[in-house]
Amino acid sequence: MKLVFTLLCAGAVVFMLRFLAALLREGKILSTRPIRIYFAKVNPVRRRGELIIMNSRNDVHKSAADMTKRAAFIVVAAALLTVPMHGQHTPNDAPAVTAVPPNQQTSAATPQTEQEIVQELAAMKKRIEQLELALKQHESAEQPTTVVHSAKANAPVSISPSPTVPPEAQAALPETSPPAKPAKAEPFAFADWTWLNGNSRVKEPPFDTKFFTPEVQADVDYIIDLNHPKDDTIAGSSEVFRAYEVQLTQLGVGGDFHFDNVRGRLMTQFGMYSTTTPRNDASPARGQWQLADAYRYISEAYGGYHFNALHGINVDAGIFMSYIGLFSYYNADNWAYQPSYVSSNTPWFFNGVRVQIFPSEHLKIEPWFINGWQSYGRFNNRPGIGAQILWRPNGKFEILGNQYMLGEDTLGVPGRVRYHTDDSMEYKYYDHPENNFLSKAAFSLTGDMGCEHGGGVSCAGDSAKGPKQDFLGFMLYNRLWLHRNLYGFTLGGGKINNPGRYLVLLPPINGATAASGTPYFTQNPGDPYKAWDASATFDYMPSQYITFRWEFDHRAANVPYFSGRGGITPPGGNTGPPGSVVSGFTPDLVRDENRLNLAILVKF
């Protein structure tokens, strides 16, 4: 029986030694394979694209060491189980039948059993030391490679493998690529500009697609003219035209097209603008094809391309807004309904080519090549050139300059060249939109200078070349936003001096146009003209897409200019050629006017 137990114990020891050897072989195979770890999320504390270091080597070594220690512990336990078996039998060469007294038997077996135990423990200890030494040699000879993929990384990253990494593991590593360049800042996108005079106050379009951003505008007014002209006709304005009637000043439908760097814009003009704007342009009278009719229902129409250079370069050709005089052509964008003369008497649009260059997110440089001064065509044989420079150093300050030169813009007078400079600044000096009373406050200041020379006039003054023909004017506006921008209140006005009257809007006496002129109000070199105005505007703005406006205007001139009670239309209506003299008729022109403008302005 003792022999059987001894054989079983010996077998158990042999089995455990073989099991330990198998574990070592398995650990060696696993340790030679590269470990790949994929993470779908990254700790938010880390910066985007930062490499995540994974110490998989320690885990592999720790696992292998733990297996070795467990195996050694099992071997020792199995060996200890055999100790009692050896103490209960005698050596094989001792006679089995020899009778030994109990006390002698115990004393004889004790030294033999202790000696065998010491030998077996020493052998086990030696074997364990050999196994640990082999494991250390295995760890130092091979280092596993860790490849980390991060779902938030901007570019793939890799850890250079050691020379012992297999070729197939090296092939699995991603190639290192240079980091992507950061996108350049969008021009003027660093602040909210809806507070500016002449700028749309729509913060978000209600609808937008990758290809098209639609836009709809409606400007409807009712004007109370305290001069009470009997023909309801108002003279001397490019925004207000008839009194005591509900009139659609502007209905615009269109928007912006943009795809694959190609861009375009279309905006129609239905209503009063489709008649009043073309009649202020004399260039269609030169040549054929009725340019005034061709462009009558279009306020903006251009196409172009965006180049990804600097902070952006746009090249556009067609009809585009000029913004000389700061105010926008669209009254919904402005602080006042009736702008001062500096704005009302200067161009609203150009027909030509422009290049918008953005050297930085704060600066725009925009040269123009155009047919002429607010004209569909050329007045003579020379086009005009100009440029705009716009600088916005921060979200509360803007400087804008528009320059025009070299155009021959007097119909039928070649050689008379026009120059003009228009310069504005706007400053937001208070901004607390959370306040229930005063939420925001800003002002704008604009100054204009210009002249013409040649063709019988002079820039420098009365001389042998002709009388002085120049322009000098300014306008100043201050606006307050109240009750968290729900209400607006604007005070402003300005003054001009324009001898020669080349920028004075011709009153439509007997249907007169810029091309026809009229003897009832001449625009000859040296004709004097000085004027000034003041206005108070109150706005109710329940939405960014609509404005209810009430405004009072006082306007005055040093010569009779505005419609009086008798009106400026002959009794039987327009008679004869536009602007011609009608027998027995004298227009009623007065030196001043007072108006109340009521308007609903929609833009989205």
Q: What is the DSSP string of 3-71?
A: HHHHHHHHHHHHHHHHHHHHHHHHHHHHHTS-EEEEES---TTSPTTPPPP--HHHHHHHHHHHHHHHH
The amino acid at 41? K
404 DSSP β-pair partners: 386, 420
Residue corresponding to tokens 């123009």: 368
pLDDT at position 89, please?
Answer: 40
Low-confidence ranges of the chain (pLDDT < 50): 4-5, 29-65, 68, 71-111, 143-165, 168-169, 171-173
For the record, the structure tokens of 301 come out as 């129409």
Tell me the C-alpha distance between 585 and 499, whole Å. Answer: 27
Please report the pLDDT score of residue 103 as a whole number.
Answer: 44
Predicted local distance difference test score (pLDDT) of residue 70: 52
Tokens of 89: 């039998």
CA within 13 Å, CB half, 525: 20
pLDDT at residue number 140: 57
**CA-based nearest residue to 480, from 537, 412, 419:** 537
Q: Model pTM? A: 0.71
Predicted local confidence at residue 66, as pLDDT: 52
Q: Which pLDDT score, from 0 to 100, does residue 357 have?
A: 98
Conformation bin of residue 394: beta by default, left when phi > 0, alpha when psi is -120 to 50: beta
pLDDT at residue 128, as a whole number: 78
Nearest Cα to 554, choosing from 480, 487, 477, 494? 494
The residue extents of the domains of the chain are 2-172, 212-233+261-309+331-603
DSSP 569: S
What string of H, E and C letters represents the secondary structure of 217-247? EEEEEEEEECCCCCCCECCCCCCCCECCCEE
d(CA 575, CA 508) in angstroms, rounded, equals 13
The rounded distance, in Å, linking the Cα atoms of 86 and 376 is: 120
- What is the model's pLDDT at position 400? 97
pLDDT of the residue at 105: 43
Q: In this predicted structure, what is the pLDDT of residue 146?
A: 40
Strand segments (E) across 269-373? 298-307, 313-321, 349-360, 363-370
Q: What is the pLDDT of residue 22?
A: 59
Q: Tokens at residue 319, please?
A: 């009809």
At 339, is the secondary structure helix, strand, or coil?
A: coil
Q: How many angstroms separate the first and last alpha carbons of the chain? A: 103
Question: What is the pairing mode between strands 262-268 and 397-407?
Answer: unpaired
Q: Going by DSSP bridges, is the β-strand pair 589-590/487-497 parallel, antiparallel, or unpaired?
A: unpaired
Architecture category of domain 212-233+261-309+331-603 in CATH: Beta Barrel (2.40)
State the CB neighbour count (10 A cutoff) for residue 168: 9
Phi-psi region for residue 115, left (φ > 0), alpha (ψ -120 to 50) or beta? Answer: alpha
Unique residue bearing structure tokens 């420098």: 460
Report how far apart, in Å, the C-alpha atoms of 44 and of each of 41, 158, 179, 370 are.
Answer: 9, 21, 20, 54
The strand pair at 35-39 and 146-150 is best described as parallel
The residue behind tokens 């195996």 is 71
What count of other Cβ atoms lies within 10 Å of the Cβ of residue 432? 12
